[in-house]
Structure 1
Amino acid sequence: MMIKTFASAVHGIDATTITIETDVSQGIKFSLVGLPDNAVKESQQRIEAALRLNNYKWPRQKIIINMAPADLRKEGSSYDLPLAIAVLAASEQIKNEKLERFLMMGELSLDGNLQPIKGALPIAIKAREEGFEGFILPTQNAREAAVVDQLKIYGVDNLMQVVDFFNDDVELEQTIVDTREEFYKMLNHTDLDFSDVKGQENVKRALEIAAAGGHNLIMIGPPGAGKTMLAKRIPTILPPFTLHEALETTKIHSVVGRIDKDTSLMTERPFRSPHHTISDVALVGGGTYPQPGEISLAHNGVLFLDELPEFKRTVLEVMRQPLEDRKITISRAKFSVEYPASLMLVASMNPCPCGYYNHPTKECVCAPGMVPKYLNKISGPLLDRIDIHLEVVPVPFKKLSELNETEGSAAIRERVIKARQIQSDRYQGMDGIFCNAQMSSRQIRDYVQLDSTSNTLLKNAMERLGLSARAYDRILRVARTIADLETSAGVESHHISEAIQYRSLDRESWGT
Structure 2
Amino acid sequence: MLGTTLSIALDGVSGIPVYVECHIGGGLPGVKVVGLPDVSINESRDRVRAALANSGHKWRNSKVTFNLAPAHVRKTGTSFDVAMAVAVLIAYEKIKTRQVEGTVFFGELGLDGKLRSVRGALPALLAASRAGFRRMILPSENRAEATIPLGDGRDMEVLCAPTLQDVVAHLQGEESAVESVAVEHHHIAPSVPDLSDVRGQGVGRRALEVAAAGAHHLLFSGPPGAGKTMLASRLPGILPPLAEDEALEVTSIHSLAGMIDPSAPFCRFPPFEAPHHGATAAAIIGGGSGLIRPGAASCAHRGVLFLDEAPEFARHVLDQLRQPLESGSITVHRARGVTTFPARFQLILAANPCPCASAAGDSECVCSSIVRRRYLAKLSGPLLDRIDLTIGLLPASRHQLLDHDTNEESSKTVLARVIEARERAAHRWAESGAVLNSQVPSHVLRRHWRPSGEARGILEKAYDAGLISGRGYERTLRVAWTIADLAGRGEPAYGDVAEALGFRNRATGMAA
Check whether TM > 0.5. yes
Q: Cα offset for 1:234?
A: 0.7
Aligned with 2:326 (options 324, 327, 338): 324
Task: Please give the alpha-carbon distance, in whole angstroms, between the structure 2 residues aligned to 1:233 and 1:8.
Answer: 39
Task: Please give the alpha-carbon distance, in whole angstroms, between the structure 1 residues aligned to 2:249 and 2:99.
Answer: 31
Q: Cα offset for 1:190?
A: 3.5
Partner of 1:410: 412
Partner of 1:168: 173
User: CA 1:20–1:396 in 2, change beyond 3 Å: closer, same or farther?
Assistant: same
Tell me, yes or no, if structure 1 residue 87 matches structure 2 residue 93.
Answer: no
Q: Which amino acid aligns with 1:331?
A: H
User: CA 1:413–1:98 in 2, change beyond 3 Å: closer, same or farther?
Assistant: same
Tell me, yes or no, if structure 1 residue 110 matches structure 2 residue 91.
Answer: no
Task: Please give the alpha-carbon distance, in whole angstroms, between the structure 1 residues aligned to 2:62 and 2:425.
Answer: 66
Deviates more, 1:481-490 or 1:254-263: 254-263
Task: Please give the alpha-carbon distance, in whole angstroms, between the structure 2 residues aligned to 1:397 and 1:191.
Answer: 27
Asked if the contact 2:109–2:115 (Cα under 8 Å) also holds between the matched residues in 1, the reply is yes
Partner of 2:485: 484
Asked if the contact 1:246–1:267 (Cα under 8 Å) also holds between the matched residues in 2, the reply is yes
Q: Cα offset for 1:458?
A: 4.8
Partner of 2:65: 64
Deviates more, 1:416-425 or 1:96-105: 96-105
Deviates more, 1:451-460 or 1:255-264: 451-460
Q: Cα offset for 1:271?
A: 0.7
Tell me, yes or no, if structure 1 residue 10 matches structure 2 residue 10.
Answer: yes
User: CA 1:194–1:65 in 2, change beyond 3 Å: closer, same or farther?
Assistant: same
Q: Which amino acid aligns with 2:13?
A: I
Q: Which amino acid aligns with 2:179?
A: E
Query: Per the alignment, in what secondary structure is the counterpart of residue 20 of structure 1?
Result: strand
Q: Cα offset for 1:62?
A: 2.2
User: CA 1:459–1:447 in 2, change beyond 3 Å: closer, same or farther?
Assistant: same
Q: Cα offset for 1:460?
A: 5.9
Question: Could you list the per-position Cα deviations for residues 95-125 of structure 1 after superposition, in whole angstroms to 9, with x for gaps in the alignment?
Answer: 4431122111111112211110111111111
Q: Cα offset for 1:314?
A: 1.3
Asked if the contact 2:3–2:89 (Cα under 8 Å) also holds between the matched residues in 1, the reply is no
Runs of at least 5 residues in structure 2 that lack an aligned partner in the other structure: none
Task: Please give the alpha-carbon distance, in whole angstroms, between the structure 2 residues aligned to 1:453 and 1:30.
Answer: 77
RMSD of Structure 2 on Structure 1 (CA): 2.4
Task: Please give the alpha-carbon distance, in whole angstroms, between the structure 2 residues aligned to 1:213 and 1:88.
Answer: 56
Asked if the contact 1:96–1:166 (Cα under 8 Å) also holds between the matched residues in 2, the reply is no
Partner of 1:229: 230
Count matched residues: 502
Query: Per the alignment, in what secondary structure is the counterpart of residue 429 of structure 1?
Result: helix
Partner of 1:388: 389
Q: Cα offset for 1:328?
A: 1.8
Q: Cα offset for 1:507?
A: 4.8
Task: Please give the alpha-carbon distance, in whole angstroms, between the structure 2 residues aligned to 1:18 and 1:97.
Answer: 18
Task: Please give the alpha-carbon distance, in whole angstroms, between the structure 1 residues aligned to 2:498 and 2:233.
Answer: 28
Query: Per the alignment, in what secondary structure is the counterpart of residue 15 of structure 1?
Result: strand
1:89-168 paired onto structure 2 within 5 Å: 89-146=90-147, 147-148=149-150, 149-168=154-173
Partner of 2:246: 245
Query: Per the alignment, in what secondary structure is the counterpart of residue 303 of structure 1?
Result: strand
Asked if the contact 1:195–1:406 (Cα under 8 Å) also holds between the matched residues in 2, the reply is yes
Question: Could you list the per-position Cα deviations for residues 470-499 of structure 1 after superposition, in whole angstroms to 9, with x for gaps in the alignment?
Answer: 544433322221111001113223223322
Question: Could you list the per-position Cα deviations for residues 150-208 of structure 1 after superposition, in whole angstroms to 9, with x for gaps in the alignment?
Answer: 11111111111101111211263210014xx43xx33x553322122222222111100
Task: Please give the alpha-carbon distance, in whole angstroms, between the structure 2 residues aligned to 1:411 and 1:21.
Answer: 58
* TM-score for the superposition, normalised by structure 1: 0.91
Q: Cα offset for 1:424?
A: 0.8
Asked if the contact 2:144–2:262 (Cα under 8 Å) also holds between the matched residues in 1, the reply is yes
Runs of at least 5 residues in structure 1 that lack an aligned partner in the other structure: none
Query: Per the alignment, in what secondary structure is the counterpart of residue 326 of structure 2?
Result: helix
Q: Cα offset for 1:138?
A: 0.7
Partner of 2:268: 267
Asked if the contact 2:41–2:78 (Cα under 8 Å) also holds between the matched residues in 1, the reply is yes
Task: Please give the alpha-carbon distance, in whole angstroms, between the structure 1 residues aligned to 2:450 and 2:490.
Answer: 10
Query: Per the alignment, in what secondary structure is the counterpart of residue 39 of structure 1?
Result: helix
Aligned with 1:347 (options 349, 352, 369): 349
Tell me, yes or no, if structure 1 residue 315 matches structure 2 residue 317.
Answer: yes
Asked if the contact 1:451–1:492 (Cα under 8 Å) also holds between the matched residues in 2, the reply is no
Asked if the contact 1:142–1:153 (Cα under 8 Å) also holds between the matched residues in 2, the reply is no
Task: Please give the alpha-carbon distance, in whole angstroms, between the structure 1 residues aligned to 2:490 and 2:428.
Answer: 11
User: CA 1:483–1:35 in 2, change beyond 3 Å: closer, same or farther?
Assistant: same
1:20-31 paired onto structure 2 within 5 Å: 20-27=20-27, 28-31=29-32
Q: Which amino acid aligns with 1:177?
A: V
Q: Which amino acid aligns with 1:336?
A: V
Task: Please give the alpha-carbon distance, in whole angstroms, between the structure 2 residues aligned to 1:71 and 1:5.
Answer: 18
1:435-474 paired onto structure 2 within 5 Å: 435-439=436-440, 442-458=443-459, 467-469=467-469, 471-474=472-475
Asked if the contact 2:146–2:183 (Cα under 8 Å) also holds between the matched residues in 1, the reply is no
Q: Cα offset for 1:346?
A: 0.5
Deviates more, 1:162-171 or 1:469-478: 469-478
User: CA 1:469–1:52 in 2, change beyond 3 Å: closer, same or farther?
Assistant: closer
Asked if the contact 1:239–1:417 (Cα under 8 Å) also holds between the matched residues in 2, the reply is yes
Identical aligned pairs, as a percentage? 40
Q: Cα offset for 1:256?
A: 2.1
User: CA 1:95–1:370 in 2, change beyond 3 Å: closer, same or farther?
Assistant: same
Tell me, yes or no, if structure 1 residue 177 matches structure 2 residue 178.
Answer: no
Q: Cα offset for 1:48?
A: 2.5
Q: Cα offset for 1:461?
A: 6.3
User: CA 1:82–1:352 in 2, change beyond 3 Å: closer, same or farther?
Assistant: same
User: CA 1:357–1:63 in 2, change beyond 3 Å: closer, same or farther?
Assistant: same
Q: Cα offset for 1:3?
A: 1.0
Q: Cα offset for 1:400?
A: 3.1
Task: Please give the alpha-carbon distance, in whole angstroms, between the structure 2 residues aligned to 1:33 and 1:346.
Answer: 46
Q: Which amino acid aligns with 1:150?
A: D
1:207-218 paired onto structure 2 within 5 Å: 207-218=208-219
